C-alpha cells in the first residue's frame, strides 16, 4: 500500500469517526465504562508483549521501568477514571445571580467528538494511553499516531487495539512516510501532542489552520534547586534516580542542578556515587536503559564534548566510546561540573543521562537564573527552609513541582499535568483530562416567575426602574 493510499485511508477513517460523533447519541456511562474495561484488559493481557516490544525498540529497556512507569500508571489512570466517571459526567449546579431567581444554571459536560493523539517514543505506552483514557472517559472517539522511533511497539499497539475496539471507537494509524503531517492536519475536535518543543510548534501551526484546540506536552530544561538547608546525601540520591530513570529520556527529568558554590564538588561526587550504586559500571546491567537511537547517542556525546572543550569537567563512570557501551547504545551517566550558559548542554534540553551541576549563591540568584530562561515543565526544590522554598514557588512559573524529590508530581492522578509557555499548553490527568476533552456547556433555565429578563422595547419608565434596580444589585 503506497503512502497516498494510506493517507486516504486515514482521512476516510477520520471522517467516519466524525460522522458518528455528530450523528449518534453521546456515549453513555455504560458505554464509556465498557471501553475503559476493554482498554484495561488490552493492557493487562499484553503487558509482557508490550515490555518486550519497547525493549526491542530501545535496544534495551528495563522491564521494571516499563512496569512501574508505564503499565501500572496506565492501569491506575483507568481505575481512577472508572471509579469517578459517574460523578464527572453529572451536570453541575452553578450559582444563579439573584436578579434571575428562581432560574437555575447547569454546567453539562459533553464529548467534543474526535480526539487525535500524537504520541512520543520515550514512554510510548503511558504517553499514548493516558490521554486516551481521558478521551474515552469524556465520551470521545480516539485516533492515535504512535512514534516512528518505536515501530515494534506501534505495530503491537495497532494489533491489540484493533482486537478490542471497533475502528470507529478507537484506532491506531501506521507510522510510515509523511503520516504525521497528514494526521496533524486533520480537523480534530482536540489534538494532543507529546514531544519536543520544536515539533510542538509545527503541530500547533498545523492545528491552528483548523482552529483545532490543542494540548501540548513538551519539555525544556527542568531545574533542581539544592538549597543550603538541604541534606546533600538525600538530594543527590533522589536527583540521581530522577535523572537516570529511562536513562534520562524523560521530559520531566532534572536537566541541571543549582547548588551552593561551596558544595558543587561534594554534591557532584555524591551524585556519581549514587549513580554508580544504582546502575553499576557494567553496560550489561539490565536495570539501565539504552538510548533510543544512534543519532541521539551521538547528540549526547556532542553535548558532553562541547562542554569539555569550553572548560567544564566531566565526571563519568565510563567513556561512551568504549565498545561495550557503544554497542548497546548505553550512555554512561555523566556529571558536568562548571557548565556555563554558553555551552550547548545549557542551551538544549538534554534528554539523556547528563547532568550539569552549577554553583548558585542563594535563592534569589536561583530564581533569577530560572526566570531568565523558558519556563520549565518541572521544577525540583530540596531543603528544609520553608521561606526559601515558598519564595521559589511564588516567584517561578513551571508546569509542576516536586519538593524534596523528583518526578512524583506527575504521578498524582488528582493533580493536572501540563506545561506552560515553551514547555506546553493545557493539562490532563484524572478529572482534569476529562474536563479538557469535554465541552463544558453552560445552560440557563429561565423561570416563568422571573420578570427581570423582560427588557424588551418599547423602553420607558418600567425599564428605567428595572435598570436602576439592576445597577443596585450589580
* Residue owning grid cell 554512561: 332
One of 47, 65, 169, 217 is an active-site residue; which one? Answer: 217
Nearest C-alpha neighbor of 142 from the set 42, 54, 30, 32: 32
Sheet arrangement for strand 104-111: 92-94, 104-111, 438-445
Distance (Å, whole) CA 458 – CA 341: 69
Which backbone phi and psi does 94 adopt, to 5 degrees? -120, 140
Which backbone phi and psi does 372 adopt, to 5 degrees? -80, 0
In the residue annotation, 47 being an active-site residue is answered as no
Nearest C-alpha neighbor of 232 from the set 271, 261, 193: 271
Q: Does a cis peptide bond (omega within 30 degrees of 0) precede residue 458? A: yes
Residues near 134 by Cβ (< 8 Å), separated by ≥ 6?
77, 81, 428, 429, 433, 434, 436, 437
Asked if 54 contacts 292 with a C-beta cutoff of 8 angstroms, the reply is: no
One of 251, 301, 406, 431 is an active-site residue; which one? Answer: 251
Q: What count of residues does the chain have?
A: 474
In the residue annotation, 251 being an active-site residue is answered as yes
Catalytic residues: 217, 251
Amino acid at each position: 500500500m503506497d503512502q497516498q493510499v494510506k493517507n486516504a485511508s486515514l482521512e476516510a477513517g477520520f471522517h467516519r469517526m466524525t460522522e458518528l460523533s455528530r450523528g449518534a447519541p453521546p456515549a453513555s456511562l455504560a458505554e464509556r465504562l465498557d471501553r475503559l474495561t476493554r482498554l484495561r484488559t488490552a493492557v493487562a493481557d499484553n503487558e509482557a508483549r508490550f515490555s518486550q516490544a519497547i525493549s526491542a525498540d530501545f535496544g534495551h529497556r528495563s522491564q521494571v521501568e516499563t512496569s512501574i512507569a508505564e503499565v501500572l500508571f496506565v492501569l491506575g489512570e483507568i481505575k481512577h477514571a472508572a471509579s469517578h466517571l459517574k460523578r464527572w459526567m453529572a451536570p453541575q449546579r452553578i450559582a444563579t445571580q439573584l436578579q434571575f431567581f428562581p432560574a437555575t444554571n447547569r454546567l453539562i459536560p459533553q464529548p467534543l467528538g474526535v480526539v487525535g493523539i500524537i504520541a512520543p517514543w520515550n514512554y510510548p505506552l503511558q504517553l499514548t494511553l493516558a490521554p486516551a483514557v481521558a478521551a474515552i472517559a469524556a465520551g470521545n472517539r480516539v485516533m492515535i499516531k504512535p512514534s516512528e522511533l518505536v515501530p515494534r511497539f506501534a505495530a503491537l499497539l495497532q494489533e491489540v487495539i484493533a482486537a478490542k475496539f471497533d475502528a470507529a471507537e478507537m484506532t491506531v494509524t501506521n507510522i510510515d512516510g509523511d503520516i504525521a503531517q497528514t494526521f496533524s492536519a486533520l480537523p480534530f475536535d482536540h489534538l494532543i501532542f507529546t514531544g519536543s518543543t520544536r515539533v510542538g510548534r509545527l503541530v500547533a501551526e498545523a492545528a491552528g489552520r483548523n482552529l483545532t484546540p490543542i494540548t501540548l506536552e513538551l519539555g525544556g530544561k527542568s531545574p533542581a534547586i539544592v538549597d543550603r538547608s538541604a541534606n546533600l546525601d538525600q538530594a543527590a540520591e533522589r536527583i540521581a534516580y530522577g535523572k537516570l530513570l529511562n536513562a534520562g529520556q524523560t521530559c520531566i527529568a532534572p536537566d541541571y542542578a543549582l547548588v551552593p558554590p561551596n558544595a558543587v564538588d561534594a554534591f557532584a561526587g555524591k551524585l556519581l556515587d549514587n549513580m554508580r550504586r544504582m546502575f553499576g559500571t557494567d553496560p550489561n546491567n539490565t536495570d539501565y536503559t539504552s538510548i533510543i537511537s544512534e543519532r541521539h547517542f551521538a547528540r549526547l556525546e556532542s553535548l558532553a564534548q562541547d562542554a569539555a572543550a569550553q572548560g567544564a569537567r566531566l565526571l563519568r563512570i565510563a567513556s561512551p566510546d568504549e565498545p561495550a557501551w557503544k554497542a548497546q547504545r548505553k550512555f554512561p551517566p555523566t556529571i558536568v561540573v562548571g557548565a556555563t550558559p554558553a555551552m550547548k548542554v545549557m542551551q538544549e534540553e538534554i534528554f539523556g543521562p547528563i547532568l550539569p551541576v552549577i554553583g548558585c549563591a542563594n535563592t534569589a540568584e536561583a530564581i533569577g537564573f530560572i526566570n531568565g530562561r523558558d519556563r520549565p515543565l518541572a521544577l525540583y526544590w530540596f531543603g528544609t527552609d520553608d521561606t526559601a522554598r515558598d519564595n521559589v514557588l511564588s516567584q517561578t512559573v513551571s508546569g509542576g513541582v516536586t519538593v524534596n524529590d523528583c518526578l512524583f508530581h506527575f504521578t498524582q492522578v488528582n493533580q493536572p499535568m501540563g506545561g506552560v509557555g515553551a514547555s506546553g499548553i493545557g493539562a490532563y490527568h484524572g478529572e482534569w483530562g476529562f474536563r479538557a476533552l469535554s465541552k463544558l456547556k453552560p445552560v440557563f433555565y429561565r423561570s416563568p416567575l422571573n420578570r427581570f429578563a423582560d427588557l424588551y422595547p418599547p423602553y420607558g419608565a418600567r425599564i428605567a426602574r428595572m435598570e436602576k434596580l439592576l445597577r443596585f444589585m450589580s
